[in-house]
């Protein structure tokens, strides 16, 4: 028997219509050199209609790709909403990709239009002659006069294009399974690969962002979205904000600790999201420049494992609870979220919060071993995590990658355990785990332990070749400026925190841990520095 229910398609246009009317007074705040500029969701709605008319006039009448090369700001939000709503596909280009990678992804996605922030023109311009499908460049912000575009590429001012355009647009009904947006992985462990999100997947994922067993974005929240709009769709926050009526606070290009602190003081966000390195930087800054940041009732941190020391610091020094989450570009990106079971307190509660968390009902997770046999969810057996669900990708755009999928499940490349009540604890990425004498050492566990020392600003651990044990850990440490702690003292500090055979004997002091285009520790680069003999290693 079939149900009697309406099968109305889920779409981005629904989110746009809903947010710009029902929540028309919510607003998007964009940070600038001279403070905040604001735009209500009602205004955003009208400007989205105008943008859609402008893009139609430029020939966007189907599923052509409209790319963005932008910071997080109001105009980027307009592109997020207008492009999919008109039936085209939004492609968020990562502004920090290497030039070759940028050229590759823009050509691979066949981007027809690029909307670019004026401040990013110098980064994009050198690549323009190599972009084979781009016909239009739409520049937000200041004047377009000084752009030297190649033949065949028309340059427009965003504001001039919108001027005089109708403030309503008849959003077409789309197939909910068609692509709404695409994002390429940031290439931390390989070449960028494209993931195409559907209207349906984004809609369902937005509901999860607003769910109380997820990030719990709530009506009236003021969400500071530091995570870039080109990094896994800003973790779904812009769409969820339009669904629920949360205002958005966009930092634009002001991502350093000082302006972020200023932005938090001025705009008093209630919620925020970013990778751990951003929060670590903000914490170190606040130590020198104390300030109340407790308007944030919770901050969502993911993208890399959150060191427990960072969670405690935020909660105890700043009164801001950290919510640890796991996700990938391929998973929209949520993912598991570490909400402890109801009623847990004290150490037991913390134990749950350190984990990568539980999966929502819509996402299934399992662990498999090297032979692809299932590993029990007993909290101790280790396997590679595989996931599937309505917002998890089942392929990459335009390429075959059979090694990344397994009977319809996504192989995540992450290794860990799952407890009987569903809590995931990741020990590592398969490529980062250290194989020492036939046993595995988790680079993440070592990093967390080292970063628990108050003299340590950052620490990253990689495996290096060892004649006797195959591999041994090398700890690359950034010490705080105001300390005279030695590496031997750090090793001593670890001695009761990790098993004796795991205790690292190779240490190196560095100025900064190299970061990826989305602000994660770049272990590929660290390994290259080691191989090139550029790390000064102390054996203890």
- The residues in 13-72 that bind ligand ADP, with binding defined as CB under 6 A, are none
Q: From 133-141, 164-172, 180-188, 361-369, give the range in contact with ligand ADP by CB under 6 A.
A: 180-188
Chain residue at closest Cβ approach to ligand ADP: 188
**Catalytic, out of 30, 92, 140, 185:** 185
Give, in degrees to the nearest 5, the angle at Cα 183 between 179 and 185: 135
End-to-end CA, the chain: 71
Contact pick of 92, 140, 144, 188 for ligand ADP (by CB under 6 A)? 188
Nearer to ligand ADP, 169 or 405 (CB): 405
- Give the contacts of 346 (CB within 8 A, at least 6 positions apart): none
Contact pick of 329, 393, 427, 502 for ligand ADP (by CB under 6 A)? 329
- The residues in 420-459 that bind ligand ADP, with binding defined as CB under 6 A, are 426, 429
Q: Is 417 in the site for ligand ADP (CB under 6 A)?
A: no
Q: Is 363 in the site for ligand ADP (CB under 6 A)?
A: no
Nearer to ligand ADP, 193 or 472 (CB): 193
Q: From 99-107, 203-211, 298-306, 365-373, give the range in contact with ligand ADP by CB under 6 A.
A: 298-306
Residue pair 504/464 in contact by the 8 Å Cβ criterion: no
Q: How many CB atoms lie within 10 A of CB 522?
A: 17
Q: Is 226 in the site for ligand ADP (CB under 6 A)?
A: no
Which helix (H) or strand (E) element contains residue 280?
Answer: helix 276-288
Q: Is 490 in the site for ligand ADP (CB under 6 A)?
A: no
Nearer to ligand ADP, 117 or 386 (CB): 386
Q: How far, in Å, are 17, 50, 51, 56 from residue 169 at the CA level?
A: 11, 8, 9, 11
In whole angstroms, the minimum distance from the beta carbon of 428 to ligand ADP comes to: 8
Tokens 């007074």 map to which residue? 25
**Pairing verdict, β 405-406 and 409-418:** antiparallel
Nearer to ligand ADP, 101 or 538 (CB): 101
Contact pick of 11, 20, 73, 185 for ligand ADP (by CB under 6 A)? 185
Q: Is 356 in the site for ligand ADP (CB under 6 A)?
A: yes
Q: Is 414 in the site for ligand ADP (CB under 6 A)?
A: yes
Nearer to ligand ADP, 158 or 271 (CB): 271
Q: Is 519 in the site for ligand ADP (CB under 6 A)?
A: no
Q: Can 435 be counted among the known catalytic residues? A: yes
Q: Is 141 in the site for ligand ADP (CB under 6 A)?
A: no
The total number of residues written for the chain in this structure: 540
Nearer to ligand ADP, 56 or 96 (CB): 96
Residue pair 48/78 in contact by the 8 Å Cβ criterion: yes
Contact pick of 215, 257, 327, 504 for ligand ADP (by CB under 6 A)? 327
Q: Is 304 in the site for ligand ADP (CB under 6 A)?
A: yes
The candidate with the shortest Cα–Cα distance to 338, out of 359, 351, 324, is 324
Contact pick of 84, 87, 187, 194 for ligand ADP (by CB under 6 A)? 187
Q: Is 280 in the site for ligand ADP (CB under 6 A)?
A: no
**Catalytic, out of 75, 298, 330, 458:** 330
Q: Is 326 in the site for ligand ADP (CB under 6 A)?
A: yes
Q: From 8-16, 210-218, 321-329, 469-477, give the range in contact with ligand ADP by CB under 6 A.
A: 321-329
In whole angstroms, the minimum distance from the beta carbon of 304 to ligand ADP comes to: 5
Crossing angle for the helix pair 41-57 and 74-85, nearest 10 degrees? 60
Contact pick of 413, 463, 504, 519 for ligand ADP (by CB under 6 A)? 413
- Give the contacts of 90 (CB within 8 A, at least 6 positions apart): 65, 66, 67, 68, 79, 80, 83, 84, 180, 181, 182
How far is 136 from 155, CA to CA, in rounded Å? Answer: 6
For the chain, state the CA radius of gyration.
Answer: 23
Structure tokens given for 272: 């925020």
Q: Is 412 in the site for ligand ADP (CB under 6 A)?
A: yes
Crossing angle for the helix pair 308-318 and 346-354, nearest 10 degrees? 130
In whole angstroms, the minimum distance from the beta carbon of 326 to ligand ADP comes to: 4
How far is 97 from 191, CA to CA, in rounded Å? Answer: 11
Residue pair 169/159 in contact by the 8 Å Cβ criterion: no
Q: From 219-227, 314-322, 410-418, 532-540, give the range in contact with ligand ADP by CB under 6 A.
A: 410-418
Q: Can 185 be counted among the known catalytic residues? A: yes
**Pairing verdict, β 136-140 and 154-157:** parallel
Coil, helix or strand at residue 472: strand
**Catalytic, out of 160, 167, 348, 435:** 435
Phi, psi (deg, nearest 5) at residue 8? -50, 130
In whole angstroms, the minimum distance from the beta carbon of 306 to ligand ADP comes to: 6
**Catalytic, out of 135, 218, 262, 440:** 440
Q: Is 520 in the site for ligand ADP (CB under 6 A)?
A: yes
The candidate with the shortest Cα–Cα distance to 295, out of 265, 326, 254, 257, is 265
In whole angstroms, the minimum distance from the beta carbon of 281 to ligand ADP comes to: 18
Nearer to ligand ADP, 91 or 429 (CB): 429
* DSSP tag of 9: P
In whole angstroms, the minimum distance from the beta carbon of 139 to ligand ADP comes to: 28
Coil, helix or strand at residue 26: coil
How far is 90 from 71, CA to CA, in rounded Å? Answer: 15
How far is 341 from 353, CA to CA, in rounded Å? Answer: 10
Nearer to ligand ADP, 251 or 302 (CB): 302
- The residues in 148-167 that bind ligand ADP, with binding defined as CB under 6 A, are none
Instruction: Provide the b/e sequence for 78-99 (b: ≥16 CB within 10 Å).
Output: bbbbbbbbbbbbbbbbbbbbee
As annotated, the active-site residues are 185, 330, 435, 440
The contact set with ligand ADP (CB under 6 A) reads 185-188, 232, 302-305, 324-329, 356, 412-414, 426, 429, 518, 520
């Amino acid at each position: 028997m079939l149900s009697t229910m309406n099968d109305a398609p889920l779409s981005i246009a629904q989110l746009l219509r809903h947010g710009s009317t029902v929540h028309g007074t919510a607003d998007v705040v964009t940070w600038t050199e001279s403070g905040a500029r604001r735009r209500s969701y009602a205004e955003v709605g009208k400007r989205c209609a105008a943008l859609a008319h402008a893009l139609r006039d430029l020939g966007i009448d189907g599923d052509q790709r409209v790319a963005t090369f932008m910071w997080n700001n109001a105009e980027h939000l307009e592109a997020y909403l207008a492009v999919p709503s008109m039936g085209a596909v939004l492609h968020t280009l990562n502004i920090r990709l290497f030039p070759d990678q940028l050229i590759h992804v823009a050509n691979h996605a066949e981007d027809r239009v690029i909307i670019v922030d004026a401040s990013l023109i110098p980064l994009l311009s050198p690549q323009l002659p190599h972009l084979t499908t781009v016909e239009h460049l739409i520049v937000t912000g200041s004047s377009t006069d000084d752009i030297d575009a190649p033949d065949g590429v028309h340059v427009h001012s965003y504001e001039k294009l919108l001027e005089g355009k109708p403030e309503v647009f008849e959003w077409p009904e789309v197939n909910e399974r068609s692509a709404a947006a695409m994002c390429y992985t940031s290439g931390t462990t390989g070449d960028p690969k494209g993931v195409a999100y559907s209207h349906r997947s984004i809609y369902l994922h937005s509901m999860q962002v607003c769910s109380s067993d997820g990030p719990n974005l709530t009506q009236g929240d003021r969400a500071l979205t530091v995570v870039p709009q080109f990094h896994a769709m800003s973790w779904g926050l812009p769409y969820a904000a339009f669904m629920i009526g949360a205002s958005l606070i966009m930092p634009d290009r002001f991502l350093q600790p000082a302006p972020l602190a200023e932005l938090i003081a001025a705009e008093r966000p209630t919620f925020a999201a970013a990778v751990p390195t951003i929060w670590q930087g903000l914490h170190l800054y606040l130590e020198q420049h104390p300030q109340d940041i407790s308007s944030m009732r919770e901050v969502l941190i993911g993208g890399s494992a959150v060191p427990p020391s960072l969670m405690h610091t935020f909660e105890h020094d700043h009164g801001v609870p950290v919510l640890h989450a796991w996700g990938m570009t391929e998973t929209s990106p949520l993912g598991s979220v570490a909400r402890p079971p109801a009623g847990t307190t004290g150490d037991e509660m913390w134990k749950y919060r350190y984990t990568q968390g539980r999966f929502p009902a819509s996402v299934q997770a399992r662990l498999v071993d090297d032979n692809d046999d299932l590993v029990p969810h007993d909290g101790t057996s280790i396997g590679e995590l595989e996931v599937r669900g309505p917002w998890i990708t089942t392929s990459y755009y335009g390429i075959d990658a059979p090694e990344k999928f397994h009977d319809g499940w996504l192989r995540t490349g992450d290794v860990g355990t799952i407890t009987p009540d569903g809590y995931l604890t990741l020990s590592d990425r398969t490529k980062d785990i250290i194989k020492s004498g036939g046993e595995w050492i988790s680079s993440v566990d070592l990093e967390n332990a080292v970063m628990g020392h108050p003299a340590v600003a950052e620490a990253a651990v990689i495996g290096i070749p060892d004649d006797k044990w195959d591999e041994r850990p090398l700890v690359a440490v950034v010490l705080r400026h105001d300390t005279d702690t030695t590496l031997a003292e750090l090793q001593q500090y670890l001695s009761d925190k990790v098993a004796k055979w795991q205790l690292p004997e190779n240490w190196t002091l560095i100025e900064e841990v190299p970061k990826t285009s989305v602000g994660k520790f770049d272990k590929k680069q660290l390994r290259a520095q080691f191989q090139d003999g550029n790390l000064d290693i102390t054996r203890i």
